[in-house]
Amino acid sequence: MNWQAVKAIYFFEMARFFRTLTQSFVSPVISTSLYFVVFGAAIGSRIQEVEGISYGAFIVPGLIMLSVITQAISNASFGIYFPKFIGTIYELLSAPINFLEIVLGYVGAAATKALFIGLVILATAAFFVDLSIQHPVAMIAFMVLTCLSFALLGFIIGIWAGNFEQLQLVPLLVVTPLVFLGGSFYSISMLPPVWQTITLFNPVVYLISGFRWAFFGMADVPVGLSLLAIFGFTMACIGVIWWIFRTGWRIRN
């Protein structure tokens, strides 16, 4: 393993993050605060407690997931797409490194950034609502796994994308709807029965449900199933990346 290269890519990507610290740090704080103002204060005051939890606290896990997933995807996809776009990818291809090291560097950095933002949002949320986390270790584990798996997905999108529109396409058309419809702002039990069944085909439901269990000890679906879902999703992404690695798809001609 060329750990120097992994380190070089990781810190080079992190440097980009710190260079744009205002964007990276301030914008999630502001948008989370806005969500709390709108959903927590304005709408939440009219909503009864959801399964014994105040609505403001109930949406915290979903809000964190929303940002973490979006950030993990956009950071990882941009990280690998940008060198392709400006041509510096030649350096990655001609260096004595393999695909695993490239993935570790880019995905590791993207996941770190997403995790950082997730924690920032958690801290922001603590200002607005009373939060007690019942399973802190599981909460961190869920967050880390989500960061990693969606950074892997972002990496795949970055490799696949041929232009900036395509780079935005998957997050905008697929991921955002799935996250919004995945129970970020409501409990699945609040839906009509038909939709409860349909919702179970949305993989994000399992993530948010598991994550919410770590906070409040209650979930829409069994925690084991949530773990299985995120594990399966991570494996699927690794499988695709392994295939890209084998064939040189969209990278090496």
Partner 1 sequence: MAAMVEIEDIRKVYDGGFEALSGVTLDIEEGEILALLGPNGAGKTTLISTICGITLASSGAIRVGGHDVVTDYRAARGLIGLVPQEVNLEPFEKVRNTVKFSRGLFGKPADDAYIEQILRRLSLWDKRDAAIRELSGGMKRRVLIAKALSHAPRVLFLDEPTAGVDVELRRDMWEIVAGLKEDGVTIILTTHYIEEAEAIADRVGVINKGRLLLVERKDALMARMGQKRLRIDLQEPISEIPAALSDYDLTLTEDGGALVYAYDTNAERTGIATLMTEMSRAGLVLRDIQTSQNSLEDIFVGLVHTGEDAA
Query: Measured between alpha carbons, how far is 239 from 190 in angstroms, rounded to an integer?
Result: 36
Q: CB of residue 252 vs partner 1: minimum separation in angstroms? A: 6
Q: Which amino acid is at 33?
A: S
Contact indicator for 56, 151 with CB cutoff of 8 Å: no
107 binds partner 1 (CB under 8 A): no
Q: Does 174 bind partner 1 (CB under 8 A)?
A: no
The interface region with partner 1, picked from 6-14, 57-65, 107-115, 160-168 by CB under 8 A, is 6-14
**Single residue of 68, 69, 73, 97 touching partner 1 by CB under 8 A:** 97
Nearer to partner 1, 7 or 135 (CB): 7
93 touches partner 1 (CB under 8 A): yes
Q: Does 23 bind partner 1 (CB under 8 A)?
A: no
Closest by Cα among 215, 176, 162, 225 to 53: 215
Per-residue binder mask for partner 1 (CB under 8 A), 67-86, x = binder: ---------------x---x
Question: Taking the complex as a whole, how short is the minimal distance between the CB of residue 162 and partner 1, in angstroms?
Answer: 15
Report whether 184 contacts 197 (CB < 8 A): no
Tell me if 95 contacts partner 1 by CB under 8 A: yes
- Which residue in the set 96, 192, 193, 224 belongs to the binding site for partner 1 (CB under 8 A)? 96
Contact 51, 59 (CB under 8 A): no
Does residue 229 contact residue 219 with C-beta atoms inside 8 Å? no
What's the closest the beta carbon of residue 244 comes to partner 1, in angstroms?
Answer: 14
How many other CB atoms sit within 10 Å of the CB of residue 155? 27
d(CA 137, CA 248): 38
Binding flag, residue 123, partner 1 (CB under 8 A)? no
Is residue 252 close enough to count as binding partner 1 by CB under 8 A?
A: yes
49 binds partner 1 (CB under 8 A): no
User: With binding defined as CB under 8 A, does residue 100 bind partner 1?
Assistant: no
Q: Does 103 bind partner 1 (CB under 8 A)?
A: no
Helix axes 99-128, 55-86, angle to 10 degrees: 150
Binding-site size, partner 1 (CB under 8 A): 26
Residue (24 or 226) nearer to partner 1, CB = 24
Does residue 171 sit in helix, strand or coil? helix
Residue type, 221: V
User: Encoding tokens for residue 187?
Assistant: 């409990």
Find the DSSP H helices in 87-135: 89-94, 99-128
Of 34, 66, 55, 32, the C-alpha closest to 190 is 55
Say whether residue 190 binds partner 1 (CB under 8 A): no
Interface residues with partner 1 (CB under 8 A)? 2, 4-5, 7-9, 11-12, 15-16, 19, 82, 86-88, 90-97, 248, 252-253
